[in-house]
Amino acid sequence: MVTVTIDGHEVQIAEGTNIVEAALKAGIEVPTYCYHPGLSVVGQCRICFVEIEDQPRLVTACSTPVAEGMSVLTASERVNEARAAVMEFLLENHPLDCPVCDQAGECYLQDYSFEHGLDTTHMVDERRTFPGFERRLIGPHVVQNQNRCIQCTRCIRFTEEISGTGDLTMKSRGNHSYIDTFNGEPYDNPWSACAADVCPVGALTVKEFRFRARVWHLEETPSVCPGCSIGCNVDLGHFKGVVYRFVPRHNAEINGWWMCDYGRFLAESLNARDIEQPARTGDQGAAEMSWSEAIDEITRLLSSDSEVQVVASPNLPNEALFLAKKVFADHLGVRVLTPVYRGENRRMKNGQRQWIANVDSHPNSTGARLIGLPIGDQDALTTMLGSSTGPLVVLDNHAHPWLQTEAAAEMLKGRPVIALGRTHTPLSRQASVLLPLASWAETDGTYTSSTGRVQLAQRGLFPKAGAKPASEALLLLAARLGLEIDPGLSPRALFEELAAEVPAFAGMTYRRLAGEPGVPALGLEEVAHVG
């Protein structure tokens, strides 16, 4: 560790750290474009100039390591002059697109121009443009506007160093340099939209988000991706009850600064809702009922003589699964199975550039295991279902792909089915009791990733219509069934009960989970860590 002084503030930092990071530690932001903590250093945008006392020339902060006793000035007159000049050069050819550019509000060019640039321009000539490259869909998710590009090469370095796909390159040279793929082929890799994340301006933007919302309207709630077992950290961007996007949230252990396209574009599907109120289906179609009526009906069905079975879901948070065990396995003594679907192979690079692979396509199969719920594959599920004609509780009609098929509905015809869901499947249309399930974005919950980390996904929206999270529904049922449990427990309090009972979660609280990036579950070997 060395001690350096940044604008008079003393900072202790590891030797060899660059000045940008050292300044951040002192709470000072040095403007950067080409620098990204997850990518290699190129030092080419020239905006991060700082002055080191007793050195004649300004240096670029991103490419200069600190040394013991170094004294850095990030806002001296020379530095401000140089920065303003570089800003002017950057804005010289940059189009005045702010009113129509998605990046506005989270654009480095806007921000630093406001802070460090001149308030006028000396440029009166024509800006250089790239005809045909103003709104080019270069891949399934990324739109390019080459006129806005400041040639920082972050996107290229992302495809070379992180995704390893090498699909973006710089062509030509000088002021006519432009980003493109080989021979105009589509820019298509599993993490393609990350290039739009790293782009500091609106040169690369996400198609699905294009013109949908202004970022300063969006609330960003820290959450976790529900797409698979890796558990990448995300920010949920939402406004007035509508989910607009996921963007990756930094987590050094799991996903670095990245996320995959599949997970990212699940965001909008969280808005869909067919099932709004509790209902019973009959010959006359669905008849709505109140929650207390629904709970009464469920209680009645569960008191049947035939064997009751429960299908839990590895998509549900620890809180719901904990309750499911308590209510069904412990109290009622009935069979609970959590079906797990392996699904597609997905990979993510973390902050140390290690690959992490998924084990299945659910966010919480590991949670189910730790809580003590049996898990099984599709065969185990169909075998169990075939062994009884009694009432069936399905805690999530999308728990497993097979469960969503016509064949599943066919097999379960005639059985009283109690289903929770958000959008219909053939099975939910024939449910005896149908309960509206809150979406991922409407649920406070913790999830255990296959890398053994317990993470908190915060609720961003109030549940729509009559929807409730599964844990709330189960609390109502538990109270009705006579369990000694407060039906008004919040997810936070519920989790504390869980942490007290399940050894793997000992010592964890929501506060701790919100503060630390993924707390390791105890006694769990890390799985699925690919070198």
Partner 1 sequence: MTLARTQPLQVALPTEVTEVRFDDAMEKRIRQILGRYPTQRAAVLPVLWMCQELWGWVSPGIMTAVAERLELAPAFVEGVVTFYTMYQTEPPGKYLLQVCTTLSCQLCGTSALVEHLEERLGIGFGQTTPDGRFTLLDVQCLGACGEGPVVQVNSDYYTELTIEKLDQLLDELP
Partner 2 sequence: MEPILLRARDEANSRSISTYLRLGGYGALKKALIMDPSAIREEVKNAGLRGRGGAGFPAGVKWGFVPQDSPKPKYLICNADESEPGTFKDREIIHVDPHMLIEGIIIASYAISANTAYIYIRGEFVEEAEILERAIAEAYKKKYLGRNILTTGYDLDVFVHRGAGAYICGEETALIESIEGKRGLPRLKPPFPAVVGVFGCPTVVNNVETLACVPHIIERGAAWFASIGRPRNTGPKLFCVSGHVNRPGVYELPLGVTFREIIEEHCGGMRDGKALKAFIPGGSSAPVLPADKIDTAADFDAVAEAGSMLGSGGLIVMDETVDMVWALENLLTFYAHESCGQCTPCREGSDWALDIVRRIRRGHGRPADIETLQRISRYASQGMTICPLGDAFCGPIASFLNHFGHEFKAYINAAAPMPEKKLPVLPVRSGRGTFGL
Q: Which residues make up the interface to partner 2 (CB under 8 A)? A: 42-47, 49, 57-58, 60, 63, 82, 85-86, 88-90, 92-93, 122-126, 128, 135-137, 143, 150-151, 170, 172-177, 207, 210-211
Task: For 249-284, give the DSSP string.
Answer: --BTTTTBT---HHHHTTGGGGG--S--S-EEEETT
Backbone Cα Rg of the chain: 27
* Binder among 32, 103, 144, 181 for partner 1 (CB under 8 A): 181
Q: Name the one range near partner 1 by CB under 8 A: 18-26, 162-170, 267-275, 472-480.
A: 162-170
Give the SS3 label for residue 373.
coil
Q: Which does 240 bind (CB under 5 to 8 A by kind): partner 2, partner 1, none?
A: none
Q: Is residue 182 at the binding interface for partner 1, with CB under 8 A as the rule?
A: yes
* Residue ranges in 403-432 that form contacts with partner 1 under rule CB under 8 A: none
The least distance separating partner 2 from the CB of residue 46, rounded to whole angstroms, comes to 5
- How, if at all, do strands 453-457 and 519-520 pair? antiparallel
Q: Name the one range near partner 1 by CB under 8 A: 98-106, 161-169, 340-348, 363-371.
A: 161-169
The least distance separating partner 1 from the CB of residue 169, rounded to whole angstroms, comes to 4
Tell me how far CA of residue 230 lies from CA of 225, 451, 530, in angstroms.
9, 7, 12
Nearer of residues 25 and 46 to partner 2, judged by Cβ: 46
The least distance separating partner 2 from the CB of residue 205, rounded to whole angstroms, comes to 11
Q: Is residue 175 at the binding interface for partner 1, with CB under 8 A as the rule?
A: no
| Contact call for residues 271 and 421 (beta carbons, < 8 A) | no
Phi, psi of 182 (to 5 degrees): -65, 125
Structure tokens at 117: 């640039």
The least distance separating partner 2 from the CB of residue 166, rounded to whole angstroms, comes to 13
Nearer of residues 44 and 430 to partner 2, judged by Cβ: 44
Nearer of residues 13 and 168 to partner 1, judged by Cβ: 168
Determine the Cα–Cα distance for residues 31 and 93; give it in Å rounded to an integer: 20
Q: Which does 151 bind (CB under 5 to 8 A by kind): partner 2, partner 1, none?
A: partner 2
Tell me how far CA of residue 22 lies from CA of 10, 12, 29, 32, 225, in angstroms.
10, 8, 10, 14, 31
Determine the Cα–Cα distance for residues 161 and 393; give it in Å rounded to an integer: 47
* Binder among 119, 173, 482, 531 for partner 1 (CB under 8 A): 173
Residue 242, burial from CB neighbour count under 10 angstroms (0-12, 13-18, 19+): middle
* Binder among 44, 63, 93, 165 for partner 1 (CB under 8 A): 165
Determine the Cα–Cα distance for residues 36 and 248; give it in Å rounded to an integer: 15
Nearer of residues 180 and 442 to partner 1, judged by Cβ: 180
* Binder among 3, 100, 166, 304 for partner 1 (CB under 8 A): 166
Determine the Cα–Cα distance for residues 93 and 157; give it in Å rounded to an integer: 23
Q: Is residue 169 at the binding interface for partner 1, with CB under 8 A as the rule?
A: yes
The least distance separating partner 2 from the CB of residue 395, rounded to whole angstroms, comes to 38
The sheet carrying 142-144 orders its strands as: 136-137, 142-144, 204-206
Q: Which does 183 bind (CB under 5 to 8 A by kind): partner 1, partner 2, none?
A: partner 1
- Quote the DSSP letter at residue 74: S
Who contacts 394 (Cβ-Cβ below 8 Å, separation ≥6)? 311, 403, 417, 418, 419, 420, 427, 431
Q: Name the one range near partner 1 by CB under 8 A: 177-185, 325-333, 426-434, 461-469.
A: 177-185
The least distance separating partner 2 from the CB of residue 12, rounded to whole angstroms, comes to 25
The residues binding partner 1 (CB under 8 A) are 159-160, 165-173, 180-183
